[in-house]
Amino acid sequence: MTDAIVVLGAGAWGTALANLAARGGRRVFLWARNPAHVAEMTETRANARRLPGVGLAASVEPTADIACVGAAATILAVTPAQTMREIARAARPHLRASTDWIICAKGIERGAHAFLSDIVREQAAARPAILSGPSFAADVAAGLPTAVTLAAESIEKAETLCRLLDAPTFRLYRSADIRGVEIGGAAKNVLAIACGVASGRGLGASAVAALTARCFAELTRFGRVFGAQPETLMGLSGLGDLVLCCATLQSRNFALGHALGQGQSLEKASGGKLAEGAFTARALVELATERGVEMPIASVVDRIVSGDLSVDAAIDSLLLRPPKPEN
């Protein structure tokens, strides 16, 4: 009998991945915290709250019971980055030995400055992998062509995990660079806010393009210090994801920055729910500072979302930096 797959997190991305994993009738548990939400999905066979207009595949079973992880050899963790530690702890008593835990969230834990793969190793005693790249849930759910990277502790393991989700319109590239793939996703979330600010402030396409390039320079500097492979940062999970999320309001991080650039308050701009980049900004900047990595764009994003710096002052602080070599 084929093992079930458990998707932890019934947001838009979790729902799209659950449907992908259910191809061919494979049993998939879609876990959500809220029993009322689970009951609604079970009754309607859809997730109207998070991914309207998309039905659940026939073999997707919504559940609020975290013990469902015991039925799976593979878990897709799609909960917010700042909750990964809590979810891993809750799941651990029910996990099988040597469970593969594919992290589908993007971020760095605040306070502890922990990468998500390290949290999973420590708290769940599971084998971490990372799924990341330029992808929007609505596009994947609609069957539009998408390509992402899946990194595991070996190329062989990554190849095995890729087969669980690979589809004609969802192409997975395998990697053994876990750290590089997770850094790309975490850093681009923060940096996309900056590009959104520039767009929302009406600074023009030239400024946004230049800012995107300088964002990539910061991402690369940070990744290099933490052991990421340059090829990974140049690939889908680094440059690819950055390009996508620095140019469209479909990106929640870009949209947050865009609203801030238009003069909205953080509360109004976030709609009561901050994008992941706003939570990761402080951890990213503090880690960079500890290791002597210069990240002026990420630093002003952190100060903007913390309320310590106005948008105009942030723009001035970047424009008035002394000239320097590009590389």
Residues labelled as active-site residues: 188
CA distance 215 to 211: 6
Specify the residue for token string 């940096």. Answer: 191
CA distance 241 to 234: 10
Neighbours of 273 (CB within 10 A): 9
Buried/exposed code over 11-44 (b: 16+ C-beta within 10 A; e: otherwise): bbbbbbbbbbbbeeeebbbbbbeeeebbebbeee
Backbone angles phi, psi at 23, to 5 degrees: -55, 140
Q: Classify 153 as helix, strand or coil.
A: coil
Closest CA to 185 of 157, 211, 223: 223
Q: Classify 22 as helix, strand or coil.
A: coil
Four-residue CA torsion sign, 225, 231, 236, 239: positive
Evaluate whether 298 touches 284 at the Cβ level (below 8 Å): yes
- CA–CA–CA angle 188, 193, 197 (5° rounding): 145
Report how far Cα 187 is from the mean position of its chain's Cα atoms: 10
CA distance 9 to 90: 13
Closest CA to 276 of 22, 69, 84: 84
| 223, 242, 244, 284 from 192: Cα distances, Å | 16, 7, 9, 14
